Structure 1
């Protein structure tokens, strides 16, 4: 049996922020691109990794995405700009969980792979004041699931790894968190919030 966690680290995309594919696909259709072409291009490891590690800016990353599209320069830039206008939506169940944990006196940190656009996104989503601290891979210069990310995160939230619950939607990240001795849990929706609260020794 693990000791109850004393702090929560939680991911943004796929947990607190969800994405409706419809507006993004609409942009791709408008410019004659196949559905998910922009997402797939942006996730190409050779440009995604340096963006998440803070080696290039979000603007530089998107410039590289545009350069790889089968469009002329002006159309590619316009397609990427329109695609970027949609910034996702807050998951109300995940946010309610975060608020409940903080209300019970536990520290909560946002721990996410993100570019230098993160702070603006949090403002736009109304999430800026919902955490005790924000841990962004681009600011830390290391991204999940690297062991150094979890080491820095635990130092920042001021608890030993064994007392930190890490919630993410990515299996690789959860495996990395567990390897770093944190309690890792894969978010699949709100149905297991009661279990997560129990892991933090909070009442149902």
Structure 2
């Protein structure tokens, strides 16, 4: 069955402002009852997280979910590669020329040749390095955070909110969440482990 997650990732938060934004959003979520203030063992990505609170049902779609349900929130601050969990990245698109590079071969396996330059981009970001590679189509160099991954398989950021085993977050909640992140551009990443 596995564990599912939804991550609201702030792709514009700088390393310097991520902590302040996280604290502001955490306070808002606790005050509105979406999560409880006392941290427990309720997430997979950290030792402790914030369990869903009494107001959580108001921000999710419960169709098909047994009630009551229980989930947790992990707030990740710091340079992180957020990914979709299972499977492999299928493709990546250049922000300059819009060329899409397929990363899977005819057997739907990760192609070593196509994946090789991007492996360093992903691992480099996680290790604190900005690996800049040229687009295979147009040759222009691309910053790690500018590549567009199919289905947002990878998101590089300094701030993310991982909702573990929650029903689908309502779009209006995600929009309000974004407003609390200074209207930064966010990505809603969904995955399963």
**TM-score interval (norm. to shorter):** under 0.3
Q: What TM-score, normalized to structure 2? A: 0.26
TM-score by length of 1: 0.25
Greater strand percent: which structure?
2
* Structure with larger RCO (C-alpha < 8 A, sep 6+): 2
Q: Name the structure where helix makes up a greater proportion of residues.
A: 1
